Amino acid sequence: MCRTGQDPDGERDVDATDAVFTSLLEDSAEELYEQAPCGYLSTLMDGTIAKINTTLLEWLGRDRSEVVGRMRFTDLLTVGGKLYHETHFAPLVRMKGEISGIALDIKAAGGQRMPVLVTSRVKASGDGEPLLIRTTVFDARDRRAYETELLRGRQAAEEARREAEEAHRAAEEARQAAEEAHRQAEGARRQAEADRERLQEALAVLQQNLLPAALPEVPGMEAGSYYHTASPDLLGGDFYDLFPLGADRWAFFLGDVCGKGPKAAAVTSLTRYTLRAAAMHDPDPVTVLTTLNTVLHERYSGGGDPRYCTAVFGVLEPEGDHVSVHLASGGHPAALIQRADGAAEYLHTPGGMLIGILSWAQFTPARTRLSPGDTMLLYTDGLTEARTGPARELYGEEALLAFTGAQPPAGPQALVSALSGLLAGFGDGLDDDTALLALGVPAPLDTPTSET
Partner 1 sequence: MDTRRRNNVTVVGRTDGPVLLLAHGFGCDQNMWRLVVPALAEDHRVVLFDYVGSGRSDPAAWDERRYSSLEGYARDVLEVCAELDLRDVTFVGHSVSAMVGVLAAARAPQRFARLVMVAPSPRYIDEDGYRGGFSEDDIDELLESLESNYLGWSAAMAPVIMGNADRPELGEELTTSFCATDPGMARVFARTTFLSDSREDLKSVTVPTLVVECEQDVIAPREVGAYVRDAIPGSRLVTLKATGHCPQLSAPQATAEAVIEFVGAAR
CB of 161 to partner 1, least distance (A): 17
Of 100 and 359, nearer to partner 1 (C-beta) is: 100
CA pair distance 110, 241, nearest whole angstrom:
116
- By the 10 Å C-beta count (0-12 exposed, 13-18 middle, 19+ buried), 207 is classed as buried
Element housing 14 (H / E): helix 11-25
Using CB under 8 A as the binding rule, whether residue 145 contacts partner 1 is answered as no
Q: CA 312 → CA 35, 167, 194, 325, 447, distances in Å?
A: 130, 74, 39, 12, 31
Of 28 and 148, nearer to partner 1 (C-beta) is: 148
Q: Which of 64, 70, 88, 189: binder of partner 1 (CB under 8 A)?
A: 88
CB of 79 to partner 1, least distance (A): 4
Using CB under 8 A as the binding rule, whether residue 410 contacts partner 1 is answered as no
Q: Which of 83, 160, 170, 174: binder of partner 1 (CB under 8 A)?
A: 83
Using CB under 8 A as the binding rule, whether residue 90 contacts partner 1 is answered as yes
Beta-strand (E) ranges in 308-445? 309-319, 322-330, 335-338, 344-347, 364-370, 375-379, 387-388, 393-394, 434-440
In the region spanning residues 22 to 81, those forming contacts with partner 1, defined by CB under 8 A, are 45-47, 72, 74, 78-81
CA pair distance 287, 363, nearest whole angstrom:
9
CA pair distance 207, 213, nearest whole angstrom:
10
CA pair distance 150, 158, nearest whole angstrom:
12
CB of 175 to partner 1, least distance (A): 32
User: Radius of gyration of the chain from Cα atoms?
Assistant: 58
Residues that contact partner 1, how many (by CB under 8 A): 35
Map residues 150-189 to x or -, x wherever contact with partner 1 holds by CB under 8 A.
xx--------------------------------------
Using CB under 8 A as the binding rule, whether residue 86 contacts partner 1 is answered as yes
- Cβ atoms of 438 and 375 within 8 Å: the answer is yes
Q: Which of 147, 158, 179, 233: binder of partner 1 (CB under 8 A)?
A: 147
Task: Return phi, psi of residue 375, to 5°.
Answer: -135, 135
Of 94 and 369, nearer to partner 1 (C-beta) is: 94
Using CB under 8 A as the binding rule, whether residue 239 contacts partner 1 is answered as no
Q: Which of 10, 69, 91, 244: binder of partner 1 (CB under 8 A)?
A: 91
Using CB under 8 A as the binding rule, whether residue 95 contacts partner 1 is answered as yes
| Alpha helices (runs of H) in 131-260, residue ranges in sequence order | 141-209
Q: Which three-class secondary structure state does DSSP give residue 229? A: coil
Of 81 and 356, nearer to partner 1 (C-beta) is: 81
Using CB under 8 A as the binding rule, whether residue 136 contacts partner 1 is answered as no
DSSP assignment, residue 355? B
By the criterion CB under 8 A, which residues form the site for partner 1? 45-47, 72, 74, 78-88, 90-92, 94-97, 99-103, 105, 115, 117, 144, 147, 150-151
